[in-house]
Copies of this chain bind each other. A is one copy, B any other.
Amino acid sequence: MAGALSHWGWGFADRFPDLEARREMGAHVQALLGFAPGEPREPRPVESLSLPAPRVTPPPALAAGCDASPYARASHSYGKGYPDLLRGLRGEFRAPPDFVALPREEAEVVALLDWAAGQGVAVVPFGGGTSVVAGVETDVGAPFRGVVSLDLRRLCRVLEVDAISRAARIQAGATGPAIEAQLAPHGLSLRHYPQSFELSTLGGWIATRSGGHFATLHTRIDDFTQSVRMVTPAGILQTGRFPSSGAGPSPEHLVLGSEGTLGVVTEAWMRVQARPRFRSSAAVHFAELARGVQAVREIAQSGLYPANCRLLDAREAALHAVTADGSHVLLLGFESADHPNEEGMRRAVEIAAAHGGVCPAGPVHKSEGERTGEEGTAAAWRQAFFDAPYLWNVLVSLGLIVDTFETACTWDRFDALHEGVIARVRAAMKRACGGGRISCRLTHVYPDGAAPYYTFLAPGRPGAELEQWAEIKRAACDVLVSLGATITHHHAVGRLHRPWYERERSPLLAAALRAAKGALDPEGILNPGVLL
């Protein structure tokens, strides 16, 4: 893993291209999008930032594990949404954490929460810092004497492996690569690959109910979570380690999705898997998106459960370099550690064909020995998928407004939703920016509905980008909730989605959650402003 993380943008700092390379990318962008990016801007270096002075200092017992340097404070001010990148680039860090705590063991998490509750200091849990919904932002407002960003990165070990039950006890601060590297010697894998995989952590995945690469069936970290351990200001909540239990409401589901408002996840027993030995993949092209959607619905209701079942519209396919011929593309994949999946793939392609899908290259089947070099389309997609956030750094520096949003709705509402989103977001981009481009892919599909994921790009006006972006984002959120879709399938609520979450959520659910928070975090120091 390369050097330091960027203090303002996505990922590792040394992956931000130099001026010349960004200029060149600007030319490509113009060819692709049809509007001219601006002259690349340079991020303000950390050394030149003038951050407000810390209001509180770490307690002596914890001081060695804390960091109040400008780099630490700046890089823990925001997540990695568009406004975060933009403000970071501009060097606007108005409410950084007073310090960053990097506990080396769970006891230090306990001690920090004790201290913070006693001092009236807010604590914002920080995993990989990849939130795109202001879930780790430290601008928590008035009643607190200070705010600490609690970074779990030092708790990054796989502590135990139970190969019989296929489970592993993993510390919450472990990133995707750290988890996979520690499981690999056991022939095991967690197989959870969100787009943030390189940086995000197990604790963050659990706190936000992260969505992974499985497009059907086990789409969410929830499905792999056997048992969790969470430090709260009121003590440690540990759930039992069972494959399944019917004893009362699921305790794990109080923690999953709690977004750091109830406690700090420190470790979890996760369900892991044998590494796949058999893979099949296919790219099916559709002339009409609507027919691709029908095919995906039928596949989702077939019980075939492909690991990959991602439908990219033509713009998304072009953006991710999957194809540029104007067709919409369904990427299908099956994977198994136990048996080949050729029959399942054959049936899935047959369903797609019945809806007009064409599979020019035919499915590709690989078994263990042949694993080197996966076939072209899927591999191109995967690389582009993980690299996309790095590209956003560049686009933001070129003055573009770039963001994504995602949702889920039942199939009966899908066509109206998709049409409404495209129309309303286009109109908002027209109003705010004079135009723009929106593309869509289905990231996860279910028997009863789908999770569409939208990417929009529009030209920003220097100095006005935040307002322009907010107008588009507001239009997007409004249309989702008004057409019966959820405000988020897997990006979480954070501070950004809260107004729409409140429209979607029953007031009684809010009352129950607030009461539960009162029991676990009586001083209300944990991630204030998120969810509640």
Contacts and interface: CB of A to CB of B under 8 A. Distances in A.
A529 to B, nearest CB: 14
Given A448-B226, A508-B232, A508-B234, A241 B484 contact: yes
A472 interface: no
Given A242-B485, A246-B211, A257-B249, A236 B508 contact: yes
A271 interface: yes
A501 B259 CA distance: 27
Contact of A412 (B165, B237, B271): B165
B220 A244 contact: yes
Given A232-B508, A271-B447, A507-B235, A513 B242 contact: no
A339 interface: yes
A243 interface: yes
A253 interface: yes
A30 interface: no
A195 interface: no
A166 B162 CA distance: 38
A506 interface: yes
A145 interface: no
B244 A253 contact: no
Identify the interface centre among A303, A446, A491: most chain B CB within 10 Å of its CB: A303
Given A234-B508, A519-B508, A248 B449 contact: no
A32 interface: no
Interface in A468-498: 484-493, 497
A245 interface: yes
Contact of A165 (B343, B347, B410): B410
Contacts of A249: 253-258, 513
B241 A250 contact: no
A244 B516 contact: no
A511 B237 CA distance: 10
A256 B245 contact: no
A138 interface: no
Nearest to A271: B448
> How many copies of this chain are found per oligomer?
2
A4 interface: no
A444 interface: yes
B243 A451 contact: yes
Nearest to A411: B165
A237 B336 contact: no
Given A248-B531, A487-B247, A489-B246, A237 B506 contact: yes
A458 interface: no
Nearest to A491: B246
Interface in A497-532: 497, 501, 504-509, 511-516, 518-520, 531
Identify the interface centre among A243, A271, A497: most chain B CB within 10 Å of its CB: A243
A245 B488 contact: yes
Contacts of A165: 410-412, 448-449
B243 A410 contact: yes
Contacts of A220: 244, 246
A274 interface: yes
A231 to B, nearest CB: 10
Contacts of A408: 242-245
Given A165-B449, A236-B506, A247-B492, 8 more contacts: A167-B410, A234-B511, A237-B506, A240-B504, A244-B408, A246-B488, A254-B509, A304-B338
Interface of A: 162, 164-167, 208-211, 217, 219-220, 222, 226, 232, 234-251, 253-259, 262, 271, 273-274, 297, 301-305, 336-339, 343, 347, 408-412, 444, 446-451, 484-493, 497, 501, 504-509, 511-516, 518-520, 531
15 contacts: A166-B448, A217-B217, A220-B246, A222-B250, A237-B512, A242-B449, A243-B409, A245-B488, A246-B486, A247-B501, A247-B505, A249-B254, A271-B447, A274-B301, A339-B343
